[in-house]
Chain A
Amino acid sequence: MKFNRVWISLVMLATIVLTIFAGIYFLDDRRFFVISLLILMQIFIPFAFLYESRKPPARELVMIAVLVAIAVAGRAAFFMLPQFKPVVAVVIISGVALGGEIGFMVGAMTILVSNIFFGQGPWTPWQMLAMGLIGLLAGALFHHRNKSISRVVLAIFGALVTVVVYGGIMNSAGVLMFQPQPTRDMFLFSFMYGLPFDIVHGVATAVFILLMARPILEKIDRIQTKYGDFRRNS
């Protein structure tokens, strides 16, 4: 299993590097678009197979589905406030409570499901990547000390990743998708243009984490102690 993972990661890395070189060499004016799309697929597809090969137990799937549904319902409930959504907060809390891998799943799935309800677009895979990465990061940084972590630290982390990771990826995605010949200035402009929205989004995330982190972490914890580790079957 361990070996399997290392191996797959190496192959993944190699194909990504290869794609970038081949793309720059062979494609001319659509190269950034094609390369970025290929890289996205090269991230998602192995991740999906890896996840599948682990044979996730029923309780884990149900837990992820519940968290995804909470995040999607949260997005729907705050429909009247653009950018002011609890989605990132739920994803971060999931990562903290259940680890990076599940954090990634909750993030990516939340986007896929909520876009089924609110409309898919060319940005769907980018959003999935960004949200998944946030869950992964939250899990990697905080999962092992989930009991001692302070809400304030988590809220600051939330605001930062929302602006830097989510904002960063989505603003770049806009340029990569629709500017065949991107320049550094275009990326800068896109970041500046998106910044006010990203800041609102980041503040919302921090507020929701401050208010919801403790009760949600407690509730997930109770389920885990009452019914045993959900990562095992039965």
Chain B
Amino acid sequence: METYQLRDVTFTYPKRNHRALSNINLTIRQGDFVVLCGASGSGKTTLLRLLKPAVAPHGTLTGNILFERAPLDDMPLRDVASKIGFVAQSPDDQIVTDKVWHELAFGLESLGVPSTDIRLRVAEMANFFGIQSLFRRDVATLSGGQKQLLALASVCVMQPSVLILDEPTAQLDPIAAGDFITALSKMNRETGMTIVLTEHRLEEVLPLAAQVLVLDAGRIIASGSPREAVMGLREVESTFFCAMPTPAHIWAAVDSCGCECPLTLREGINWLAVQRISPQQSQAINSSAQIQSSKYSFALTLKDIWFKYEKNAPDVLKGVSFTARHSEITAILGGNGAGKSTLLSVATGLIKPQRGKVSATHAVRLLTQNPQALFLRNTVADDLREITSDANELARTIGLCELEAVLESHPYDLSGGEQQRAALAKILLTQPKILLLDEPTKGVDAHYKQSFIKILRRLASEGMTIVIVSHDIEFCAECADNCALLFDGDVVAQSNTRAFFAGNRFYTTAANRMARGILPAAITADDIIEALHEV
């Protein structure tokens, strides 16, 4: 049975000339796990939302969308609500009520299910997702990952036949994202629920997918099983490869022997084992790890910092020492609850530590996680002018952050990546010498990450000291000069980036894990690609 059939679907937003989607044809079968991917603005979100009338964008639609062989438009509202489940990106915005149990019951209340039946179905769902212990909690007390699981459960409780998910893990940390994907795949395997999602964290999702669709400029440029999609993508020479899992990315760049494309790390390791790499090459990368210049002096030094929020509360920071050098990018990695945000607040001087000393050569500026906490005015241009009216400075920053195209837009109409850059521009206008960034890649896709890295590298080369706090290992590996690992309120390791990741066994990049046996010092996909090209 086909869940969805799309025939020649074309979609145009009001007052726009170009089509957001053109001539989309596709079939999704019952029980499929479908991943829609593509860069921001490729039309993947538009396509996804057209599958659920309650969240479909306004505009002109031509072509047919069939749901279970009947036109989607003719479907009764009650069926649209119960059969097609929708989960959005932000865990906070999509939760409606104040209690976990009430949120779980929300959909069934809408359908008019009597209380006694709701009780049973809610209990079932809470058990399936293992959230019984949260049942009577206030939503406000949950973590982001727990909220997103709750959002998923409160859709599944209506027993939909298909789940539509719009970048459901974009706002989560890697551990919570993994848990969420696991829950999703369990739902798919054990109940046969059809799943359609957009995602930019493909490493984990791709191997689960039965069908992958890659969109570019409103068209499907590659489709099929994950392997077929990657091969198709290579044929059209798409730049979208930077978002693919590391093994596929490397394979696409170098493979000439017609080997099957590796998707998972295990496949990647096996694939790499049959490639020829000269010992000189591996030596070259290795030696670059040893050269570590310390030509710059310290810009920011934290010494023996102890901090707790209340007299009887446990210590959050336990004697942390940390340094950042002038003109360098230093990354602080670590899981949830390691004290990263607290460390940033201490370094910025927002809170005073109980013991220890913070010294900085210049004023320290902080860009918080949520760029929306900065936007005050109705257009990006006005918002930047709120900081300074110096035209030269404005033009320079706008150019640097690539904001020319969105200057007259409302900040909330920008994509996640654009919002992040607009926020960065705002803080750059305050002329910081030392800049701290809290999770700058949250909700940002692979393409924007690359442009963000370029901007940061350029700022550092112009003399800015940058400290990044992040969960995003791959981003830090590509971007930072130095890395530090914060664990249990203390920095347990700090060294230059290559040495840091090459020395770790588990807390390291996918590329490093893949190449460990052959190129121990390779930490990014580009390192491996370079090594293989030289052969």
User: Residues of A at under 8 Å CB distance from B?
Assistant: 218, 222, 228, 234
Shortest distance in angstroms between A72's beta carbon and chain B's nearest beta carbon?
13
In the complex the two chains form, what is the Cα distance from A218 to B58 in whole Å? Answer: 23
Cβ contact of A222, chosen from B53, B58, B378, cutoff 8 A: B378
Ranked nearest first, the 6 interchain pairs of A and B with the lowest CB-CB distance are A234-B54, A222-B410, A218-B378, A222-B378, A228-B58, A234-B53
When A and B form their complex, what is the total count of cross-chain residue pairs whose Cβ atoms lie within 8 Å?
Answer: 6
Shortest distance in angstroms between B103's beta carbon and chain A's nearest beta carbon?
14
Residues of B within 8 A of A234 (CB): 53-54
Residues of A within 8 A of B54 (CB): 234
In the complex the two chains form, what is the Cα distance from A37 to B54 in whole Å? Answer: 43
In the complex the two chains form, what is the Cα distance from A218 to B377 in whole Å? Answer: 11
Residues of B within 8 A of A218 (CB): 378
Residues of B within 8 A of A222 (CB): 378, 410
Q: What are 6 contact pairs spanning A and B, CB under 8 A?
A: A218-B378, A222-B378, A222-B410, A228-B58, A234-B53, A234-B54
In the complex the two chains form, what is the Cα distance from A234 to B49 in whole Å? Answer: 13
Per-residue interface assignment for chain B, residues 173 to 199, with 1 indicating a CB less than 8 Å from any chain A CB and 0 otherwise: 000000000000000000000000000
In the complex the two chains form, what is the Cα distance from A234 to B55 in whole Å? Answer: 8
In the complex the two chains form, what is the Cα distance from A105 to B127 in whole Å? Answer: 38
Closest residue of chain A to B376 (Cβ to Cβ) is A215
In the complex the two chains form, what is the Cα distance from A234 to B52 in whole Å? Answer: 12
Shortest distance in angstroms between B106's beta carbon and chain A's nearest beta carbon?
11
In the complex the two chains form, what is the Cα distance from A222 to B410 in whole Å? Answer: 10
User: Residues of B at under 8 Å CB distance from A?
Assistant: 53-54, 58, 378, 410
Shortest distance in angstroms between A227's beta carbon and chain B's nearest beta carbon?
9
Residues of A within 8 A of B53 (CB): 234
Shortest distance in angstroms between B467's beta carbon and chain A's nearest beta carbon?
31
Shortest distance in angstroms between A70's beta carbon and chain B's nearest beta carbon?
16
Residues of A within 8 A of B410 (CB): 222
Residues of A within 8 A of B378 (CB): 218, 222
Shortest distance in angstroms between B526's beta carbon and chain A's nearest beta carbon?
41
Residues of A within 8 A of B58 (CB): 228
Shortest distance in angstroms between A113's beta carbon and chain B's nearest beta carbon?
11
Shortest distance in angstroms between A233's beta carbon and chain B's nearest beta carbon?
9
Shortest distance in angstroms between A177's beta carbon and chain B's nearest beta carbon?
31
In the complex the two chains form, what is the Cα distance from A234 to B56 in whole Å? Answer: 9
Shortest distance in angstroms between B134's beta carbon and chain A's nearest beta carbon?
22
In the complex the two chains form, what is the Cα distance from A123 to B452 in whole Å? Answer: 56
Closest residue of chain A to B377 (Cβ to Cβ) is A215
Shortest distance in angstroms between B340's beta carbon and chain A's nearest beta carbon?
27
Closest residue of chain B to A61 (Cβ to Cβ) is B96
Shortest distance in angstroms between A60's beta carbon and chain B's nearest beta carbon?
14
In the complex the two chains form, what is the Cα distance from A209 to B119 in whole Å? Answer: 46
In the complex the two chains form, what is the Cα distance from A228 to B58 in whole Å? Answer: 10
In the complex the two chains form, what is the Cα distance from A186 to B53 in whole Å? Answer: 61
Shortest distance in angstroms between A4's beta carbon and chain B's nearest beta carbon?
23
Closest residue of chain A to B413 (Cβ to Cβ) is A226
In the complex the two chains form, what is the Cα distance from A153 to B410 in whole Å? Answer: 30
Shortest distance in angstroms between A19's beta carbon and chain B's nearest beta carbon?
35
In the complex the two chains form, what is the Cα distance from A218 to B54 in whole Å? Answer: 27
In the complex the two chains form, what is the Cα distance from A222 to B377 in whole Å? Answer: 12
Closest residue of chain B to A223 (Cβ to Cβ) is B412
Closest residue of chain B to A65 (Cβ to Cβ) is B96
In the complex the two chains form, what is the Cα distance from A52 to B58 in whole Å? Answer: 28
Closest residue of chain B to A62 (Cβ to Cβ) is B96
In the complex the two chains form, what is the Cα distance from A222 to B54 in whole Å? Answer: 21
In the complex the two chains form, what is the Cα distance from A228 to B238 in whole Å? Answer: 38
In the complex the two chains form, what is the Cα distance from A22 to B53 in whole Å? Answer: 55
Most buried by B among A218, A222, A234: A234
Shortest distance in angstroms between A64's beta carbon and chain B's nearest beta carbon?
13
Shortest distance in angstroms between B50's beta carbon and chain A's nearest beta carbon?
14
Shortest distance in angstroms between A79's beta carbon and chain B's nearest beta carbon?
19
In the complex the two chains form, what is the Cα distance from A222 to B379 in whole Å? Answer: 12
Shortest distance in angstroms between A58's beta carbon and chain B's nearest beta carbon?
9
Residues of B within 8 A of A228 (CB): 58
Shortest distance in angstroms between B220's beta carbon and chain A's nearest beta carbon?
28
In the complex the two chains form, what is the Cα distance from A38 to B511 in whole Å? Answer: 74
In the complex the two chains form, what is the Cα distance from A19 to B53 in whole Å? Answer: 50
Shortest distance in angstroms between B109's beta carbon and chain A's nearest beta carbon?
13
In the complex the two chains form, what is the Cα distance from A228 to B410 in whole Å? Answer: 17
In the complex the two chains form, what is the Cα distance from A218 to B382 in whole Å? Answer: 15
In the complex the two chains form, what is the Cα distance from A222 to B409 in whole Å? Answer: 12
In the complex the two chains form, what is the Cα distance from A218 to B376 in whole Å? Answer: 12
In the complex the two chains form, what is the Cα distance from A230 to B53 in whole Å? Answer: 17
Closest residue of chain A to B55 (Cβ to Cβ) is A234
In the complex the two chains form, what is the Cα distance from A20 to B461 in whole Å? Answer: 81
Shortest distance in angstroms between A63's beta carbon and chain B's nearest beta carbon?
13
In the complex the two chains form, what is the Cα distance from A218 to B378 in whole Å? Answer: 9
Shortest distance in angstroms between A66's beta carbon and chain B's nearest beta carbon?
11
In the complex the two chains form, what is the Cα distance from A172 to B283 in whole Å? Answer: 89
Shortest distance in angstroms between B262's beta carbon and chain A's nearest beta carbon?
45
Closest residue of chain B to A234 (Cβ to Cβ) is B54
Shortest distance in angstroms between B289's beta carbon and chain A's nearest beta carbon?
52
